[in-house]
Copies of this chain bind each other. A is one copy, B any other.
C-alpha cells in the first residue's frame, strides 16, 4: 500500500470516529484551536475551516438532521391561489412579496427604446457606467458618503446580490448568520453554496429587536451576518441605537455585514438607518429596483461595497449569466430619474400598512408591532391549536384569501402570518376583517367537510 493510501484510510477512520462523537463541533473554541494548529502545520486556514465544515455537515447527515422546505411549499401554495383565481373564484392574494403596481410608463419606454436602439448585445458584467455613476452619486448625497462608480456592481436583482455576497465574502464550510424570521432564500442560497446557516431568533415580544439574540449566538466561526431592515417579513425598522450595537458586535467578531436594504424606501417613521451611514469597514450594501419601482420582473439590483468587492461581485455575475441586459439597465436608469412614481408607490404601501394594523390590532388574539417599514405585517396569533399552514390553507379555501404562513420564515414562527400590503385599501380592509374573524372563529378547529 502506498503512503498516501494508508494516510487517507487513517483520515477516514478518524473522521468516522469524530462524527459519531456526541460533542458539538461548532464550538468557536474548537475552530480557533484548530486554526492555530493548521498554521503550525503549514496548512491553509481555508483548508481547516472547510474540513471542519465538512465534518459538521457529515455529523448532521449521520444524525439525520433534515430541514423544512417551507419556502418551496409557499410557491406551491401561491400556485394554488392562482389556480383558484383562474377557475373563476375571487381570490385576494396577500401571500407574495410583489407589489401590485408596475413599472411606470417612463421606465417601460426607456426599456423599449433601448431594445430598438440595438442595446441588445453583450455588455460588461461590471454594469453600465452611467447607471453606476448615478447610483453612486445618489447614495453619496443621501448618506453623506463618497462612493464612486467603482464602488457599485449591477446585479440581476436582490437575489443575485445576496448570492454574490455569500460567494464572494465566504468560503464553503463557513458559517453565515441569519436573523429570523427571514426571507427563506438566504438560508437556501447559503446551503446551496456549501456554507452553514447560523440562525438567530427574534421575537415580537421584544419588538423584533435582534441585538441580544445576536450577541448570544455570534462567534469566530461566523464570517457574515445578513441584515434586512426594513424587514421582510416583520416590517421592523432598526433604530439607530440597535443598528450601531449590531455593527459594534460585528466589528468585535470581524464579520462582514451584508445589509439587504431592498425595502429602505418603504420607511414610515422617518428615514430608516442604512449601513452606509456608519462607515463600517467590512460593509456590503445591496438594493434592488424591484419593490420601489414595481420592477420585480426586470431583475435588476445593485451592490455598494469596496471597489475590490464590487469587482468580484461582477465576477460572480459574469460566471453565472455573463451580464445584465443593457436595455434592462437603461430601464433602471429611467427609474432612478422617476422620483414621482417612487414617491407614489411608497405612500401607497404606507397607507395600506396602516389599514392592516388598524384592523388586525382590534383582536386580542393577534399581536403585532405598529408598521415601521417594508410591505408586510407579521402578526402572531395567540390561540391554542393554531398552525400557520393549516390556517393559511383553510383561509384560502374558505375565504378566498391567501396569506403566507409564518413557518416559511423560520421554524419557530408557526404561530405567525405574513400579510402583504399589495392590494388596494378597501379590499385590504375587508380582507383584514375577514382574517380577524377567521382567527376569532378559530377556523382551524373546523373540519374541511
Contacts and interface: CB of A to CB of B under 8 A. Distances in A.
Contact of A51 (B15, B296, B326): B15
A5 interface: yes
Contacts of A326: 297
Contact of A120 (B52, B62, B167, B298): B298
A246 to B, nearest CB: 26
Copies in the assembly, this chain: 2
B157 A322 contact: yes
Interface string A100-130: 0011000010011001101111110000000
Contacts of A115: 108, 111-112
A204 interface: no
Contact of A47 (B3, B58, B194, B328): B58
Contacts of A323: 297, 299
B118 A296 contact: no
Nearest to A79: B124
A54 interface: yes
A93 to B, nearest CB: 12
Contact of A188 (B16, B102, B319): B319
Contacts of A41: 12-13, 15-16
Interface residues of A, number: 85
Nearest to A24: B4
Given A54-B50, A96-B122, A299 B319 contact: no
Interface stretch (A32-40, A352-360, A392-400): A32-40
Interface string A148-182: 00000000110110010001000010000000000
A185 interface: yes
Contacts of A30: 4-5, 8
Nearest to A1: B33
Given A159-B322, A323-B299, A326-B297, A34 B9 contact: yes
A18 B2 CA distance: 11
A66 interface: no
Nearest to A111: B115
A319 B192 contact: yes
Nearest to A13: B41
A43 B12 CA distance: 8
B98 A120 contact: no
Nearest to A20: B42
Interface of A: 2-5, 7-21, 23, 25, 30, 33-34, 37-38, 41-44, 47-48, 50-52, 54-55, 57-58, 61-62, 96, 98, 102-103, 108, 111-112, 115-116, 118-123, 156-157, 159-160, 163, 167, 172, 185, 188-189, 192, 194, 294-299, 316, 319-328
20 contacts: A4-B21, A7-B17, A12-B51, A15-B51, A44-B58, A51-B54, A102-B120, A103-B120, A108-B116, A111-B112, A120-B294, A156-B156, A156-B320, A159-B320, A159-B322, A163-B320, A192-B316, A297-B325, A298-B325, A299-B322
